[in-house]
Structure 1
Amino acid sequence: MKNLLILLFVLTSVLFSSCKKFLEEVPSSVLVAENFYKTDADAEAGVTAAYDGLNNQTDIYFRGIYLLAELPTDNAETGQGVANAFIFAIDGYTYGPVNDRIYVLYTALYKTIANANVAIDKIPAIEMDAAKKKRLIAEAKYIRALLYFNLVRLFGDVPLVLHPVTSLDGVNEPRAAAAKVYEQIVADLKAGETDLDALNTTANLGRATQAAATGLLAKVYLTLKDYPNAALKAKQVLDNPQFGLLDSYFNIFTPDNRFNKELIFAIQNKGLTGTGNGFSMALYLPRATIPLAGGGTVAGNSADVPTVEFYNSFKAGDLRKDRTFFTQYNAGGGLVTFRPHWYKYFDPSAITNLGEATLNFPVLRYADMLLTYAEAINETSGPTAEAYEAVNKVRRRAYGLAIASPSAAADLSGLSKAGFQDALLNERRWEFGFENQRWFDLVRTGKLVPVMRATGNTLIQDYHVLFPIPQRERDVNKSLTQNDGYPK
């Protein structure tokens, strides 16, 4: 990743270099870090820059991770609007180290980590309220932990960059062992458990809180197969009274309910601003199929679409199906029918300007904590009553039943440990479709290769549990090794 780090070096040289001659050549309008990180407003701006990286429409959330965590699974496939050969390669498991979509996500993750690192390093020197200072640093650490969690799961060993690069000594960073990356993720999140805000209020909507750190720790521990700690952390969030399941699955994703008690952490959107900087719906809506009342059609592209098999996998009566997909719609020009398309983040207010959707993108939901808790318990003790109750709450809501009341029609029971594992994996698939969790779930449970082979894919290999380090990074940074199975 030398080319990325060189870019960061150039940028940070503008900010941090002490060379008088160099500074004399920089226009006076250039804002150097020494002049910028002086006030609490500067600290806020620095952390906001890190949050903004999460909201990059094409690079990270919402589509960047989708192309690696949803598309190459049994949930999704390329639609008629796809023209990029690299996307077809990801879908068909013919990709290699030269793939622009893999490269874009990899570098975008590091660019946002770089923003977080600047905030983490520079905010401590600012004279400001001590509690606020700790909170802002912890928010930047949370963002760094979240992005490294994605990196290490997708690529395995990755360079562990924890400070701004200010000299050529730092531009040739080798890969760190995955275990060391996870150690840093855990450390950053533990800092968040004490220094982040305890509650979501109108003053901090969209920001990471202590529960967000604890919830992400639960998922980290589950991935590491540290099941006791995964159960412990998930239970801490489940016992937090500010969070819970909504009675209706449908209402989790309605635009007028974009902040609700089920969302522990979500990527914030900027829709309805007139700038086209909201949640872009064009790629997943039907291609020039839905007529508008004033003439013309909705400008969908049918690029990112669910598989018909996923659509058909939902059981009769599961209300999640009609929130995850739609097959017909009337935008004022008449009802039309089409093959299944994603519906979960559809915002009717942006139907004529598809870049203005207002929905937030969930990263951590209360339902995830319930299913994480159930999985962790099952792995240590088998399907106990507590594990059943956790998953059955999710199932009851899915079928429109009272969440706290046992139901013979919806509740799981009488399963072996292995049977409970399989049931949980199915439940996660139905609950989190189009939330970029499927690939991670399949890899974590050792099911990616057999599941994809069962779909008829004969090209997937055991090494596809990791993506390749982008070749463009290795070409300029000779210290970067390649994952097994890919050209060295």
Structure 2
Amino acid sequence: MKKILLFIILLAGLVSCKKFLEEKPTSTMTAENFYKTAADADAAVIGAYDELNNQSEVYYRGIYLLAELPTDNAECGQGVANAYIFAIKNYTYGPVNDRIETLWTGIYKGIANANVAIDKIPGIAMDETKKNRLVAEAKFVRALLYFNLVRLFGPVPLVLHQTTGLDSVNVPRATQDAIYGQIIADLKDGETHLDSASTAANNGRPSRFAASALLSKVYLTLHDYSNARSEAQLVLNNAQYGLLPAYADIFAPDNRFNKEVLFGIQNKGNTGTGNGFAMALFLPRSTIPLPGGGTVGGNQADVPTQEFYNSFLPGDLRKDKTFFTQYNAGAGLVTFAPAWFKYFDPASITNLGEGSLNFPIVRYADVLLTYAEAENELNGPVAAALEAINQVRRRAYGKSITTPDAAIDLAGISQGDLRTALLNERRWEFGFEDQRWFDLKRTNNLLTLLKAKGLGIQDYDTLYPIPQRERDVNKQLTQNGGYPQ
């Protein structure tokens, strides 16, 4: 923890240093001469968002390696050379693992950036409504990052203010109740101060209803089904959001902003700046020929399991958007083993770091299935719970979303059967969206289901180890059970 925060302090250059000279150049960027204007406030919030877009650390690959790869959805492809990644897939990892450490570090860097915005923006003389909204955006980012941390690692240090010196970086682990309490408080602030509508002017920023959607998932994780249902209902009652008629349209490159994605990580590809979705890791290696010679430079590191590919039922249109097994880039059709397809951007086929797809964090379909799960836990498979899951199913099979269809709809099933159906539906709906590990853990299926499928998961693998490097510099950090103490 100390190394992370020291790095952030030095990198940001926004904290006061010991004066070695009496003269203070006006061109030096310090906390005293920054955070003065509304533009500075905007810049601070952009800094909070920035770490979310760091794909190697947080979304998508940082969390993918812990929330998708170790499940029955994914496996290591031929492009994986890092022994630590194989260890995650094989459940042989320990406190020394560079991928686990990278995610931990990246998340805390994002939290540190958010804390700077939360601490500094209130002191800026600017429009109060915008000020409150910008602070709420930073709190939304902080809540999202802590939600990932607490689910993956359990109790973690709860850092809520800018760190300006080494005397305040040895922070012990907070209780899970305290962490979840802060997540809820941050998102409640968002429900009050974020924009009430999603418009072209605030694309990429969370709205009040994005806060409600994320809050519904938080409550569902806590098994607080009444509040999960209530928060989900706030979104479902808002006409500006809804399911798109076709599943594939959610991930169309020319449809990055749509009414189904309440919040997503922004990737502005095809700009020549490398700020796009990095596609090389999931595309086939040396298989797809290009018209000008050579092949698509895929690395084929992150790949789906054959079992996941085979699990889709006949007629489910999500299968052909989640995976692909053949492609023609202009030099002939070729076939290959199932590969992830959801974020493929054909315009970036020769420059795989420039994909233009955003990465969805919470979608309207997620809200529907959250509502259905909460309602089922409260009242069993009543009509409202069934209708919520059936809307998702109808779209998956190319049917009218709001028109009942006896061939597709679930009906006359038990509470337990609906639990199973919801877990399966979430798997098919959110493949390659880094939700599978969280879903299995929340529903108490992580150990039983993965053991039954032959994965080497151990009873203590419901939490990841606290990185040893963090414990070496922060002696107050204890280790999770099952790992070397």
Bin of the TM-score, shorter chain as denominator length: over 0.9
> What whole-Å deviation, never above 9, does each CA across 1:214-234 have from its counterpart, x for those lacking one?
000000000000000000000
Aligned match of 2:484: 487
> What whole-Å deviation, never above 9, does each CA across 1:51-110 have from its counterpart, x for those lacking one?
111101211011111001100000000000000000000011010000000000001000
CA distance in 2, matches of 1:127, 1:475: 42
Aligned residue identity for 2:475: K
Q: Cα–Cα, structure 1 residues 333 and 113, in superposed 2: closer, same or farther, change >3 Å?
A: same
Question: Displacement, 1:476?
Answer: 1.1
Aligned residue identity for 2:469: R
Given the alignment of the two structures, is residue 8 of structure 1 paired with residue 8 of structure 2, yes or no? yes
Aligned residue identity for 1:468: P
Aligned match of 2:54: 56
Aligned match of 2:112: 114
CA distance in 2, matches of 1:27, 1:398: 61
CA distance in 2, matches of 1:144, 1:181: 11
Given the alignment of the two structures, is residue 189 of structure 1 paired with residue 192 of structure 2, yes or no? no
Question: Displacement, 1:422?
Answer: 0.6
Does the aligned pair in 2 maintain the 1:55–1:267 contact within 8 Å? yes
Aligned residue identity for 2:472: D
Aligned match of 1:306: 304
Given the alignment of the two structures, is residue 461 of structure 1 paired with residue 458 of structure 2, yes or no? yes
> What whole-Å deviation, never above 9, does each CA across 1:258-288 have from its counterpart, x for those lacking one?
1111010011112011122200100000001
Question: Displacement, 1:18?
Answer: 6.7
Aligned match of 2:395: 397
Does the aligned pair in 2 maintain the 1:9–1:168 contact within 8 Å? no
> What whole-Å deviation, never above 9, does each CA across 1:227-256 have from its counterpart, x for those lacking one?
000000001101111000011001110001
CA distance in 1, matches of 2:475, 2:168: 13
Question: Displacement, 1:30?
Answer: 3.6
Does the aligned pair in 1 maintain the 2:270–2:355 contact within 8 Å? yes
CA distance in 1, matches of 2:323, 2:28: 48
1:139-150 matches, within 5 Å, as 139-150=137-148
Q: Cα–Cα, structure 1 residues 27 and 471, in superposed 2: closer, same or farther, change >3 Å?
A: farther
Aligned match of 2:289: 291
Does the aligned pair in 2 maintain the 1:124–1:133 contact within 8 Å? yes
Does the aligned pair in 2 maintain the 1:272–1:356 contact within 8 Å? yes
Aligned match of 1:244: 242
Aligned match of 2:260: 262
1:172-187 matches, within 5 Å, as 172-187=170-185
Question: Displacement, 1:16?
Answer: 2.8
CA distance in 2, matches of 1:396, 1:235: 20
1:237-386 matches, within 5 Å, as 237-386=235-384
Question: Displacement, 1:25?
Answer: 9.2
Q: Alignment partner for residue 436 of structure 1, among 430, 434, 445?
A: 434
When the two structures are superposed, what TM-score results if normalisation uses the length of structure 1? 0.97
CA distance in 2, matches of 1:349, 1:26: 49
Aligned match of 1:136: 134
Q: Which aligned runs of 4 or more in structure 1 are off by greater than 2 angstroms?
A: 5-12, 14-21, 23-30
Given the alignment of the two structures, is residue 471 of structure 1 paired with residue 454 of structure 2, yes or no? no
Aligned residue identity for 1:32: T
Aligned residue identity for 2:266: Q
When the two structures are superposed, what TM-score results if normalisation uses the length of structure 2? 0.98
1:21-60 matches, within 5 Å, as 21=20, 29-60=27-58
CA distance in 2, matches of 1:126, 1:290: 53
CA distance in 2, matches of 1:131, 1:123: 12
Unaligned stretches of 5+ residues in structure 1: none
> What whole-Å deviation, never above 9, does each CA across 1:454-484 have from its counterpart, x for those lacking one?
2212x31111011000000001111000001
CA distance in 2, matches of 1:15, 1:287: 43
Question: Displacement, 1:317?
Answer: 0.3
CA distance in 2, matches of 1:167, 1:89: 36
> What whole-Å deviation, never above 9, does each CA across 1:150-204 have from its counterpart, x for those lacking one?
0000000000000011123211011101110000000000000010000111110
Does the aligned pair in 2 maintain the 1:54–1:267 contact within 8 Å? yes
CA distance in 2, matches of 1:88, 1:27: 51
Does the aligned pair in 1 maintain the 2:2–2:166 contact within 8 Å? no
Does the aligned pair in 2 maintain the 1:323–1:343 contact within 8 Å? yes
Unaligned stretches of 5+ residues in structure 2: none
Aligned sequence identity (%): 68
SS in 2 for 1:269: coil
Aligned residue identity for 2:2: K
Aligned residue identity for 2:435: Q
Q: Cα–Cα, structure 1 residues 467 and 26, in superposed 2: closer, same or farther, change >3 Å?
A: farther
Question: Displacement, 1:15?
Answer: 2.5
SS in 1 for 2:163: coil
Q: Cα–Cα, structure 1 residues 473 and 235, in superposed 2: closer, same or farther, change >3 Å?
A: same
Question: Displacement, 1:443?
Answer: 0.4
Does the aligned pair in 2 maintain the 1:276–1:353 contact within 8 Å? no
Q: Across the two proteins, how many residue pairs are aligned to each other?
A: 485
Q: Cα–Cα, structure 1 residues 9 and 170, in superposed 2: closer, same or farther, change >3 Å?
A: farther
Deviates further, 267-276 or 94-103: 267-276
SS in 1 for 2:267: coil
SS in 2 for 1:463: coil
Aligned match of 1:20: 19
CA distance in 2, matches of 1:482, 1:63: 24
CA distance in 2, matches of 1:305, 1:25: 57
Does the aligned pair in 2 maintain the 1:59–1:105 contact within 8 Å? yes
CA distance in 1, matches of 2:8, 2:251: 37
RMSD: 1.3
SS in 1 for 2:461: helix
SS in 1 for 2:299: coil
